[in-house]
Amino acid sequence: MMRGSNSLIGAVNLITFLVSIPILGGGIWLASRANSTDCIRFLQWPIIIIALAIMLVSLAGFAGACYRVSWLLRLYLFAMFFVVVALIFFIVFAYAVTDRGHGEVVMNRAFLEYQLQDYSGWLKDRVSDPGYWGKISACLRDGKVCKGMRRFVRDQNTGILVQEPANVFYRRDLSPIQSGCCKPPTSCGYTYINETLWTATPGTVVIDQDCTRWSNNQQELCYECDSCKAGVLASIKHSWRKVSVINIVVLIILVIVYVAGCAAYRNAKRIDNDEPLGMPRMTKAQPSRFQF
């Protein structure tokens, strides 16, 4: 029976180790986007640390089950409790900081546009910080996120590849960063030349401050626009929501496995104490001091 209980505990730890792999994968995916797309390099570290903690704790519990080291099993149960709490905190935090903000539909456009005032909270303040935004915008430039927007179509008369016309561009589904950072807001009324080259229309009244921030310099574009910051926030929200779905599924599995591990450990302790399973623990009655 003791061997069976240890086998169950070992299986439980193996499951938790395997469950940590999707969490680690989500953290690595966020890290890859941080280097090329979102350019936010601090968000992925909590989830990577949680995944590594689950792996190490699971290995400790697995070793404790295989070699019947009780203190390792106690360490596993104690540490896994805090790991589960940390994962719950991270999921709640991720949803809280990405709760606000959404794209706005623009008439005769397939893509959405983003406004910084639609967002609020800690993440907006973090991204909007001038010092930190300088690093993000430099990352976006180095990642050449706008260069990938260029497309050519074949002219039906000559068969020659030409720049994508405006009516085709307006039907494209742009990413939040492409929409916010690589073109001026539609409200500016600028005339389309190509995906990253626009000219101001004479006599147009400028209301949006991003219109004055736009530049046809390919190293500047709208990287200093509020719409670009909003696009980054929208991209982060999309990425975090994807990872949070995986984390919620993993959390449910972890809780079930943790409860099973606690039950298996308790049964193993009862067997060590020669207590029958399913019976209440008996305590020795203290003799009365009064004799009748």
The whole-number pLDDT of residue 289 equals 47
Give the separation between CA 185 and CA 204, rounded to whole angstroms. 13
The whole-number pLDDT of residue 288 equals 46
Contact call for residues 76 and 60 (beta carbons, < 8 A) = yes
Q: Which of 191, 175, 177 has its CA nearest to residue 230?
A: 177
Q: What is the mean pLDDT of each run of 10 residues along the chain (292 residues)?
A: 58 81 82 66 77 86 74 81 89 83 90 91 88 89 85 82 89 93 93 92 81 93 95 88 84 84 72 54 47 38
Give the separation between CA 283 and CA 126, rounded to whole angstroms. 59
The whole-number pLDDT of residue 34 equals 63
The whole-number pLDDT of residue 202 equals 79
State the pTM of this model.
0.78
